[in-house]
């Protein structure tokens, strides 16, 4: 190694050491500007405290209102982005209820099986369906262990400007990606905090200063089907 | 001689095409995001490019967004870019090119889309 090169490396080490702790060369942005792409520095997620979740369905109503998901009165084929699941311990009779939606896995099976690449994970951890390339094969519907995906069986009208929906494609919870990109929380979380039991929290799982990160660090929480090692972005407490 | 004849033919055809070409009103704004000739020829490329950037990268740049197209170009009466004299449909019907955007995307202006159930 010639001395110049050694000296240069030495300066680099000194510069790295000079960075104060807590100072980041790349700052974790909170609300992105429209010119800024979704970043791997962030991972959006939810923390749902089931002990505070009661019999209401404010989250379901708000989600379907926000995303223009309307019922055609045919429960077998109606799209469902989020649903309330009731659990009951057969021995003790202890009953619980929880909202279940796309868990925004780090290793999503729906993405693995998609033959066209329509099912994909955005850099900030949100799992989405690109309906432009979705061919409606429904492999992802079968692959998802949470039953989170729905197929649109019938022609749709009255879509929201931010949420395109159409016949022949698969859809699921988008974590209200259009709201998140504006710096807002998903509709279910907003509704739960307004009309419900304040059971749902939204935040960046990667940001150590975020409330959700602090709670996950200091309180017990669990993933549904943690045995599948999908590392879900939606975590539950009190399950 | 042949070249002149071809020139005359082309001129006649252009005039004929313009005579029954669709007439549409541009409802809002002084100028589009690109010159008219470029928009006529390349609007689908812009939309396709923007579509992937928005969907895959999360870039919601307003310049070539379909939502902004609709907001400016929707008819004042119906609030839509489709329909008989709709900005998109009138030209696409004339050119016999199907427009698939509105199978999924709302053809209504944001205000109206929000008001509709």
pTM (2 d.p.): 0.81
Domain map of chain B by residue range? 23-115
Task: Report the sign of the C-alpha dihedral through residues A58, A61, A65, A69, in that order.
Answer: positive
Q: How far is B27 from chain A (nearest CA, A)?
A: 19
Q: What is the pLDDT of residues A45-63, one digit of tens each?
A: 999 999 999 889 999 999 9
Residues of A in contact with B110 (CB under 8 A): 161
How far is the C-alpha of A67 from the C-alpha of A19, rounded, in Å?
Answer: 45
Closest CA to A182 of A36, A1, A25: A36
Domain map of chain A by residue range? 40-237
ipTM: 0.78
How far is the C-alpha of A114 from the C-alpha of A169, rounded, in Å?
Answer: 12
Alpha carbon separation from B111 to A53, A102, B78, B115 (Å, rounded): 34, 29, 12, 6
Secondary structure letter of residue B54 according to DSSP: I
pLDDT of A96 over the 90 cut: yes
Q: Do B114 and A160 touch (CB under 8 A)?
A: yes
According to DSSP, the residues that pair with A235 across neighbouring strands are A47
Closest CA to A135 of A172, A109, A170: A170
Q: Do A132 and B62 touch (CB under 8 A)?
A: no
Residues of B in contact with A156 (CB under 8 A): 104
Q: Give me A209's structure tokens.
A: 């200063």
N-terminal to C-terminal alpha carbon distance within chain B: 64
As a whole-number percent, the residues of chain A with pLDDT over 70 amount to 87
CB distance from B70 to chain A under 8 Å? yes
Q: Any idea which fold A40-237 has?
A: Alpha-Beta Plaits (3.30.70)
Closest CA to A69 of A149, A165, A198, A206: A165
Q: What are phi and psi of A8, to 5 degrees?
A: -60, -45
User: What number of other Cβ atoms are within 10 A of residue B83's Cβ?
Assistant: 16
Closest CA to B93 of B20, B11, B19, B16: B20
Q: Do B57 and A120 touch (CB under 8 A)?
A: no
Q: Regarding predicted confidence, which is higher, A34 or A163?
A: A163
pLDDT of A104 over the 50 cut: yes
Average pLDDT of every residue of chain A: 89
Closest CA to A151 of A74, A239, A45, A47: A74
């Amino acid at each position: 190694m010639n001395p110049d090169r050694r000296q240069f490396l030495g300066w680099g080490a000194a510069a790295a050491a000079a960075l104060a702790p807590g100072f980041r060369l790349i700052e974790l942005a909170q609300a992105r500007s429209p010119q800024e792409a979704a970043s791997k520095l962030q991972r959006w997620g939810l923390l749902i405290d089931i002990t505070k979740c009661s019999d209401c369905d404010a989250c379901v109503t708000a989600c379907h209102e926000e995303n223009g998901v309307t019922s055609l009165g045919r429960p077998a084929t109606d799209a469902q982005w989020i649903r309330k699941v009731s659990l009951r311990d057969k021995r003790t009779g202890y009953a619980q209820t929880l909202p279940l939606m796309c868990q925004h896995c780090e290793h999503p099976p729906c993405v693995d099986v998609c033959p066209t690449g329509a099912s994909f994970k955005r850099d900030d951890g949100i799992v989405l369906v690109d309906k432009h390339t979705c061919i409606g094969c429904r492999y992802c519907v079968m692959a998802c262990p949470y039953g989170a995906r729905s197929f649109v069986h019938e022609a749709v009208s009255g879509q929201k400007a931010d949420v395109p929906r159409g016949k022949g494609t698969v859809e699921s919870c988008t974590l209200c990606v259009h709201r998140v990109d504006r710096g807002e929380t998903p509709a279910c979380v907003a509704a739960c905090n307004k009309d419900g039991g304040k059971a749902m929290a939204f935040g960046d799982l990667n940001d150590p200063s975020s409330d959700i990160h602090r709670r996950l660090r200091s309180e017990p929480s669990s993933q549904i089907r943690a045995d599948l090692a999908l590392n879900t972005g939606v975590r539950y407490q009190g399950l | 001689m042949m070249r002149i004849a071809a020139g005359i033919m082309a001129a006649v055809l252009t005039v004929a095409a313009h005579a029954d070409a669709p007439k549409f009103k541009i409802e809002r704004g002084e100028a589009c995001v690109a010159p008219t000739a470029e928009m006529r020829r390349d609007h689908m490329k812009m939309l396709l490019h923007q579509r992937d950037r928005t969907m895959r990268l999360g870039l919601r740049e307003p310049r070539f967004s379909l939502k902004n197209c609709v907001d400016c170009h929707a008819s004042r009466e119906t609030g839509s870019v489709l329909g008989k004299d709709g900005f998109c449909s009138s030209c696409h019907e004339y050119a016999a090119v199907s427009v698939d955007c509105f199978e999924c995307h709302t053809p209504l202006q944001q205000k109206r889309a929000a008001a509709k159930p």
